Chains A and B, each alone.
Chain A
Amino acid sequence: MTNYQKWIAFETILRRELRRFLRIWPQTLLPPVITIILYFVIFGQLIGSRIGTMSGLPYIQFVAPGLIMMSVITNSYSNVVSSFFGSKFQRNIEELLVSPTPNWIILLGYVAGGMCRGLGVGFIVTLLSLYFADFSIHSVPITLGIVLMTSLMFSLAGLINAIFAANFDDISIIPTFVLTPLTYLGGVFYSIDLLGEFWRNLSMLNPVLYMVNAFRFGIAGITDIDIIWSFLMVGLSSAILFFTALNLLEKGSRLRS
């Protein structure tokens, strides 16, 4: 395949992914928006007004970056895991496997689709959050950099989950039992300074904490941890996940008999 043909193949996968989640927008775009509005109303306004400030910020301004990041993480992950597993389940993944499209293009196509949904939902949630909270962006490069890398990382993780999944239970186990606890305990709703030393140290093992803090720093200029570590951790994790996913596709694990 020439580079131009590879570009067409990538564009085709991406267009198919976009069409998929836009066609079923009541399942893909609407629920996260409603969920985030409820978070803003309950945690931001009703409970948040009684909490006062967190790390020197009004509570609603403190949680807004975490809620945006949470929507990016869950949507990037769930788009790839459901789309790729759906293709495996219906066996239309074979359309790609019999084609000359290189595995790295397949990988990039699905990941780009996941990132489009994750970032798209993140953008909608950001617009909504402006209704509930006033905030300006402290650093555009840091904000965009970390949100892009986070979306990339969780799209890759979603793809690996989908490759290993043998049934529909397998694509809900990780989001329910791993992703949700990590997100809720990842500093979205509180500063880790509130925790005792043991729990604070334990929280430092949670990758979501680094992403949420880097994003909060990009928007509000405050963070519980050094954001250099955030970029290093997310970058390194993304690289490991990328090569793991590519290796699985090359070997045809769970895809070819």
Chain B
Amino acid sequence: MKNSNCPALSIKRLTKTYDDSFQALKGIDLDVAQGDFFALLGPNGAGKSTTIGIICSLVRKTSGSIKVFEHDIDADFSSAKQLIGIVPQEFNFNQFEKPIDILVAQAGYFGIRSDIALQRAEKYLRQLGLWERRNDLSRNLSGGMKRRLMIARALIHEPKLLVLDEPTAGVDIELRRSMWDFLREINGKGTTIILTTHYLEEAESLCRNIAIIDHGVIVQNTSIKDLLKQLNRETFVLDVQDDLSDCPLLPGYDVTLIDKHSLEVEVAKTQSINGVFEALNEQNICVLSMRNKTNRLEELFFDMVERNLIQSDGSSFND
């Protein structure tokens, strides 16, 4: 690293126009600080994967510059690439090779001796729960194992910047949680992580800062905390003790009866949640528990679409 205070990633005026004239990126600027856990969010086709593809040189940029710890990815590509680890969205390893061979070969491409590569391969395969399957053909691994194999492969040269393109897509909840723990651990040890995800809960749970990209433009670039402050309203689900035959009227609040024991209440940012409890108490309705109906970031995203901060083209955030 040239400068201990430099950004881990610095993108300036990055554009990408594909051969079919589709403009995927329209001049984005983005800085990610060292040690950050950064989320890049956006609907399908927003430009997330194009951005990541350019960072790790699988996609050719049209113009602009990218520096990784101040190493330009064009002028100083060897140093820049040594610092980046990439976990792509789709499986891109030889399905007829064993996990151990895949990792040792990947280390070799980074100029790491095979004895060191074997030690590291054992370390990461153990940490990711794949050591027992190290000699199986990788095509015989489950989807979750294949995804973990790609994480181990991305870490084999111990990069300072780890880029994950939807790492938990198609992974069950339990495994997702254990992957989150693993990512938090390596971030805690100093690795800067950039994550793209469709699981907004993932971004909210893991990341400190966030950029929202849409139609090739960064529409928000702030901390998760500040972004959540923009949330105008939240929906709460209340579980009540007694059977409800009719939806109770709560002045100033939108209420929906889901079933005999559940209510949905929309609370604006300017309103107090206490008002809900007071109104229910006056009607002798006892609340047993309360939870957010949906992910707050997701609500925010759709709220931004409604406010035209993000253009809506009908693309789903969760598909």
Pull 30 A–B residue pairs with CB atoms less than 8 Å apart, ordered by A. Answer: A4-B111, A8-B113, A9-B109, A9-B111, A15-B105, A15-B108, A19-B101, A86-B94, A91-B92, A92-B92, A92-B94, A94-B58, A94-B88, A94-B92, A95-B105, A95-B153, A98-B58, A98-B84, A99-B81, A99-B109, A99-B110, A100-B78, A100-B81, A100-B110, A101-B109, A101-B110, A252-B60, A257-B18, A257-B58, A257-B60
Q: Collect the chain B residues with CB atoms within 8 Å of residue A91's CB.
A: 90-92
List the 10 closest A-B pairs by CB distance, nearest first: A5-B111, A12-B108, A99-B109, A91-B92, A100-B81, A100-B78, A92-B94, A257-B59, A98-B56, A94-B92
With an 8 A cutoff between CB atoms, is A256 at the interface?
A: yes
Checking B53, B95, B106 against A99 with a beta-carbon cut-off of 8 angstroms, the contacting residue is B106
Q: Collect the chain B residues with CB atoms within 8 Å of residue A86's CB.
A: 94
- Where the two chains meet, the residues of A that have a C-beta atom closer than 8 Å to any C-beta of B are 1-2, 4-6, 8-9, 11-13, 15-16, 19, 86-87, 90-92, 94-102, 252, 256-257
CB <8 Å contact, A90 and B109 = no
Roughly how many angstroms separate A95 CA and B108 CA in the complex, as a whole number? 11
Nearest CB in chain A: distance from B249 CB, A: 57
With an 8 A cutoff between CB atoms, is B235 at the interface?
A: no
Residue of B nearest to A86 (CB): B94
Q: Collect the chain B residues with CB atoms within 8 Å of residue A4's CB.
A: 111
Roughly how many angstroms separate A1 CA and B79 CA in the complex, as a whole number? 8
For B57-71 the 0/1 string (1 means CB < 8 A from A) is 111100000000000
13 more contacts with CB within 8 A, not counting A13-B108, A95-B106, are A1-B111, A8-B108, A13-B109, A95-B93, A96-B109, A98-B84, A99-B106, A100-B77, A100-B109, A101-B111, A252-B60, A256-B58, A257-B60
Q: Collect the chain B residues with CB atoms within 8 Å of residue A15's CB.
A: 105, 108
- Where the two chains meet, the residues of B that have a C-beta atom closer than 8 Å to any C-beta of A are 18, 53, 56-60, 77-79, 81-82, 84, 86, 88, 90-95, 101-102, 104-106, 108-114, 153
Q: Collect the chain B residues with CB atoms within 8 Å of residue A97's CB.
A: 57-58
Q: A6-B111, A95-B105, A100-B82 are in contact. Are A87 and B58 (CB under 8 A)?
A: no
Nearest CB in chain B: distance from A95 CB, A: 6
Q: Collect the chain B residues with CB atoms within 8 Å of residue A95's CB.
A: 92-93, 102, 105-106, 109, 153
Q: Collect the chain B residues with CB atoms within 8 Å of residue A13's CB.
A: 108-109
Nearest CB in chain B: distance from A7 CB, A: 8
Q: Collect the chain A residues with CB atoms within 8 Å of residue B57's CB.
A: 97-98, 256
Residue of B nearest to A256 (CB): B60
CB <8 Å contact, B105 and A2 = no
CB <8 Å contact, A87 and B94 = yes
Roughly how many angstroms separate A150 CA and B153 CA in the complex, as a whole number? 37
Majority secondary structure of chain A interface residues (helix, strand, loop or mixed): helix
Nearest CB in chain A: distance from B92 CB, A: 4
Residue of B nearest to A251 (CB): B60
Nearest CB in chain B: distance from A99 CB, A: 4
Which residue, A9, A11, A19, has most C-beta atoms of chain B within 10 A? A9
Residue of B nearest to A91 (CB): B92
Q: Collect the chain A residues with CB atoms within 8 Å of residue B109's CB.
A: 9, 12-13, 95-96, 99-101
Nearest CB in chain B: distance from A228 CB, A: 41
Residue of B nearest to A106 (CB): B109
Residue of B nearest to A101 (CB): B109
Q: Collect the chain B residues with CB atoms within 8 Å of residue A256's CB.
A: 57-60
Residue of B nearest to A4 (CB): B111
Q: Collect the chain A residues with CB atoms within 8 Å of residue B92's CB.
A: 90-92, 94-95
Roughly how many angstroms separate A8 CA and B111 CA in the complex, as a whole number? 5
Roughly how many angstroms separate A175 CA and B78 CA in the complex, as a whole number? 36
Nearest CB in chain A: distance from B8 CB, A: 17
Roughly how many angstroms separate A15 CA and B108 CA in the complex, as a whole number? 10
Q: Collect the chain B residues with CB atoms within 8 Å of residue A94's CB.
A: 58, 88, 92
CB <8 Å contact, B93 and A92 = yes
Residue of A nearest to B111 (CB): A5
Q: Collect the chain B residues with CB atoms within 8 Å of residue A5's CB.
A: 110-112
CB <8 Å contact, B53 and A257 = yes
Roughly how many angstroms separate A86 CA and B84 CA in the complex, as a whole number? 25
CB <8 Å contact, B112 and A8 = yes
Roughly how many angstroms separate A252 CA and B74 CA in the complex, as a whole number? 13
CB <8 Å contact, B58 and A90 = no
Q: Collect the chain A residues with CB atoms within 8 Å of residue B84's CB.
A: 98
Nearest CB in chain B: distance from A103 CB, A: 10
Roughly how many angstroms separate A42 CA and B154 CA in the complex, as a whole number? 54
Roughly how many angstroms separate A15 CA and B117 CA in the complex, as a whole number? 15
Roughly how many angstroms separate A5 CA and B110 CA in the complex, as a whole number? 7
Residue of A nearest to B55 (CB): A98
Residue of A nearest to B78 (CB): A100
Roughly how many angstroms separate A86 CA and B91 CA in the complex, as a whole number? 14
Residue of B nearest to A95 (CB): B106
Q: Collect the chain B residues with CB atoms within 8 Å of residue A90's CB.
A: 92-95
Nearest CB in chain A: distance from B109 CB, A: 4
Roughly how many angstroms separate A131 CA and B197 CA in the complex, as a whole number? 64
Nearest CB in chain A: distance from B69 CB, A: 14
